[in-house]
Structure 1
């Protein structure tokens, strides 16, 4: 089981929107050096919605190559078409990903039975560990704990990223699934409390910019050291808020640009961070001990 601090990695791009291969290599190496426990490649933060299937598969494949066994790679392969999700998951398996992360189908708003049948179909089609991803604020559908428990009985479905920010949901899923089923927080603001309540880690936006601090915080929480975890979390708590002043990954891409890690590249319909938010985000980065590359 993968545990700890997991980065929902941005897909770096050049100003014209092309994938920036050099920056991707730089980010992967940095996360390995900083102690990040795993990488999610081409999830929501990786702009999965605006990469075509060929690009999607390429970024996963390249991330696996760059990681070179030093750190697990979880491939984002969710889609609101079951056949597309199967195709992307097959691609990730062929690329050598360690697991896949599949968001609940968005926009078409399936029923709980539809969610069950969708994920079951993908799990039966591709023999690779699969992590469910529930983020109703973006998908307009909420996978209930009882549906998660049904899916936990399906071979290959090994965990869930639960991003409602509802700690009682974490507790309920743990009660229904048991310790062998991985639960990851998908909400940085409540991740520390989620881990202390029984989650196995955090699939995080904040880790993109503060990997060492988030690794240390998750490790302390997993060890049950609530005081140390709270102390570490306080240092990055402003980032948990300001990295969502506009739709993710707009703020985190600006932050990484500010730090000199990536170029100014993002794809429409997302746009570069509005100037009115720059000062607050820069202040949060500095409060976390991060500095701007001159």
Structure 2
């Protein structure tokens, strides 16, 4: 199992769609080129931001092959692995890897629901996926969003037994994030802590994230890169100011309630930036109301991503 070298900005990207809610692959190619040019170190497709759960397996594999063709060999492409049970996860994982994915972001399955969740159940699921021989990223996601938080002891064991190479922490809780960080640091093998906490991106960098895996970075990869680089350089004052004035207000607008609208908000923003031409999301997701659209575009302007009346990325 090889390391994906995910110590940077991994952008979980949207999937542009036609007005008939079909994947728009020419638009996807343009979008991927823009994200890479903005400074993303890696790309994740077929995840929540990319409406992965709403896609057929055939569509997911075509998304991978399209993105991989644009990104080339210098930018890793991770695919979300969204399945219902172990055998299906292995089947889907094999297809996603054959399509060109460099690694898998492993989502929770229905069997993870409910308390208590035995570590053995989760461990066996990851062990089966590891048999595919591809780097895997554990997705520790708050239960309020349909995921499961993976405890420190389990995470350390998954790393030590070479079942995962990184953890995406989307607990949205700083105490839990620190527990995840400590579990990864306690492991005998190296692994990356990736922030999935859009509600405290800057703070998660200060707390020791090696990088991030964020839907926010699918909108503002350059801004995310700038703040991460400043934190790494020890310029916390500048990083905090940029976060306070530009990054966090934009993240809060993108992930405002109802949270499910973040995909449509992202697409509307990309239209304003001149990156894509259509904001369609796949049903049952709904388009934005005019008020929600206006609020999101105001946040994009306030963040300095676009000047009024232009498509200039800053």
Q: TM-score range by the shorter chain?
A: over 0.9
Q: How does 1:9-28 map to 2 (within 5 A)?
A: 9-28=13-32
What are the residue-to-residue correspondences of 1:1-294 with 2, within 5 Å?
1-106=5-110, 109=113, 111-113=117-119, 114-123=121-130, 125-136=131-142, 137-178=144-185, 180-234=190-244, 235-245=246-256, 246=258, 247=260, 248-262=262-276, 263-291=278-306
CA distance in 1, matches of 2:230, 2:167: 21
Indicate conservation of the 8 Å contact 1:112/1:144, yes or no. no
Distance 1:82 1:223, change over 3 A: farther
C-alpha separation between the residues in 2 aligned to 1:264 and 1:172?
Answer: 38
TM-score (norm 2): 0.87
Q: Distance between the aligned counterparts of 2:148 and 2:219, measured in 1?
A: 29
Deviations 1:190-234 (A, max 9, x none): 122112111111111222222211111112223333223212222
What per-residue deviation string (whole Å, max 9, x for no partner) do you get for residues 70-109 of structure 1?
A: 3111111132322222222212322332221111224761
Q: 1:57 to 1:279 in 2, by over 3 A?
A: same
CA–CA distance in structure 1, aligned partners of residues 197 and 29 of structure 2: 26
Question: 2:127·2:163 contact (CA, 8 Å) conserved in 1?
Answer: no
What are structure 2's unaligned runs of at least 5 residues? none
SS of equivalent to 2:165? strand
CA contact (8 A) 1:185 1:201 kept: yes
The C-alpha deviation readout for 1:133-184, integer Å capped at 9, x for no partner, is: 1222321532222222221122241111110122222322232232711111
Supply the RMSD in Å over aligned alpha carbons: 1.9
Q: Which runs of 4+ in 1 moved over 6 A?
A: none
Report how many residues are paired: 293
- What is the CA–CA distance in structure 2 between the aligned matches of 1:140 and 1:129, rounded to whole Å? 20
TM-score, with length taken from structure 1:
0.92
Q: Verify the 8 A CA contact 2:264 2:280 in the aligned structure 1.
A: no
Q: Report the Cα distance in structure 1 between the residues aligned to 2:112 and 2:36, rounded to whole angstroms.
A: 37
